[in-house]
Structure 1
């Protein structure tokens, strides 16, 4: 049971547990997919062929010559060779709307594909079970489901969900898709009821947007079923994604992000890369309420992990050393190993 106001900040490192691509893998797929010099040759890939068709459609929607859009895709491709993440590459090209459009198209294309191939499936194999494949406990969303439901009566699940905010820098809908099934398993309720509870009570913020609204979610954003590799409205989904500059310009969105951090008594960072631009979205000034901070630094170098520790002591205004807990383990292991803390 979560008893303390908690904000989870989730990055690509956490989604990798579900077989989603890392930042480097996504860049590599974009580099290969936008290699239109292979078009029509024996080395042409299925992804390249599909992306080329979508470039033609993007040119039509943008009222631009297809050669101009293809040249923008090539500029994006070149920048990806030097980039650390697709988000940072789009930030570099905030002056070029066509490159931004090509980048968002690639994100929607490859992340939809990744959903369809992930270990989180559209439905469970057996009704009442979870739609996870493999060792289910070795997924951070499984550990989150345990934290949310453990020892919580059905009558109080809404109150527990209101104690948590999830700031998800990933584009997929894993949290939203999975948690209703966790409630079905925990309480034996119907899936529709579980989806309604999640929709009404759980606050999930996607700073860069997500690849479509699940059919049961509220709002007016374009819909896409979970795992739809090629949704019919792919271009509408891509258009509503946000670069860092676009998100930073939305004052209401930035205010909500910073409020989620400033109002939390406990901050948990899972697979978050701490790119300076993303950190700036979360913190305006140093916090004054001295929250507890738990960080997973799995896969980071010792130097970067030490830098993150210094950064968070300053940004969170931590007065005591024991309020910052740094773990070199994976996201799911951190939630498991610190479950007593998180439920306190």
Structure 2
């Protein structure tokens, strides 16, 4: 079990470990799918056909002519040449709400598709198993960390000292954790989902593609693994741009409160983009937490930059408060499990 107040900050690398697409991959596939002018009617890719069908539905709504939507997708496609992230392309064209709309539509489509094709399945093949395909996955290590030493009668303690800030649009953590409780404690699926819904403290600053059907809330929902949901147009509204987040004081404070209440911060699969660091930490941050930074995939200069940036932004006054680990998410949780439990 986790004995220290801990906030887990999860980035795209964590989702990539279960074979969900990276932001760059989503950007490239969006640009390719929206290249309508290159395709003849019978040469269109499957992604282009699906997105075109959704665009036709959007065009039925007041103010959304198909011509204007096409112009928006072309603006998005051209802008993609100057970025590595779909989020950045959407944000830099915030003067055109249809670019935002079509960008979110592509995001929702490719994340739904990614969930359906990932290593995390909708349900286990056999009772008593986990819905993970064979392999080494950080989610499994997180589940072990949360449940070890916690009796069934006090299952709420699995979540008591843990908060999660996920910068990903997928719902892999929420989908997986009920199966952890089923495996560890013999719960039924509805009981496990209810426990996770009531006790898991998780924030998605930029939203998700939607609630899982068993989660509380009012936004549109979609099952895990549904590649072509019927309500795709409504799912788009669950996604937030950085600009929209900046105008949502409640969401911003929810993120920063999770940081301020923690004695230990764990960054895993995180890209350390300055705008996300600024979101996580403001000028009031001064309580000197213990920080564990996973930096796998970053170049040498980028790793040096992360160390300097984290020391400065987090006001760390002692060298032993910052640990920088060049390890994948799975390796970080496996190798530092004893520390994370302490």
Report the TM-score when normalising by structure 1: 0.97
| Alpha-carbon displacement from aligned partner over 1:282-317 (angstroms, at most 9, x marks no partner) | 111262111011111111101111111111111111
Alignment of 1:85-164 (within 5 A): 85-135=85-135, 138-164=136-162
CA contact (8 A) 1:298 1:328 kept: yes
Distance 2:284 2:291 in 1: 14
Please say if 1:11 is aligned against 2:11.
yes
Deviation at 1:236, TM superposition (A): 0.5
2:283 to 282, 285, 288: 285
Please say if 1:70 is aligned against 2:70.
yes
| Alpha-carbon displacement from aligned partner over 1:56-112 (angstroms, at most 9, x marks no partner) | 212222532201111101111111222121112222122221100011000100000
Distance 1:9 1:32 in 2: 31
Distance 2:38 2:90 in 1: 24
1:188 to 186, 189, 205: 186
CA contact (8 A) 1:27 1:81 kept: no
Return closer, same or farther for 1:145/1:62 CA change in 2, 3 Å cut-off.
Answer: farther
Distance 1:151 1:20 in 2: 31
CA contact (8 A) 1:286 1:317 kept: no
Please say if 1:229 is aligned against 2:227.
yes
Give unmatched runs, 5+ long, in structure 2.
none
CA-based RMSD: 1.2
Deviation at 1:216, TM superposition (A): 0.6
Aligned to 1:341: 339
CA contact (8 A) 1:39 1:48 kept: no
Deviation at 1:239, TM superposition (A): 1.8
Aligned to 1:261: 259
- Could you say what secondary structure the match of 1:74 adopts? helix
State the aligned residue count.
342
Distance 2:247 2:70 in 1: 28
Deviation at 1:159, TM superposition (A): 2.4
Distance 2:158 2:288 in 1: 22
Aligned to 2:309: 311
Deviation at 1:328, TM superposition (A): 1.1
Q: Which deviates more, 5-14 or 60-69?
A: 60-69
Distance 1:299 1:3 in 2: 29
| Alpha-carbon displacement from aligned partner over 1:100-145 (angstroms, at most 9, x marks no partner) | 001100010000000000000000011121000021xx21111110
CA contact (8 A) 1:3 1:160 kept: no
Distance 2:13 2:209 in 1: 18
- Could you say what secondary structure the match of 1:61 adopts? coil
Distance 1:244 1:281 in 2: 9
Give unmatched runs, 5+ long, in structure 1.
none
Distance 2:188 2:210 in 1: 24
Aligned to 1:52: 52
2:250 to 249, 252, 256: 252
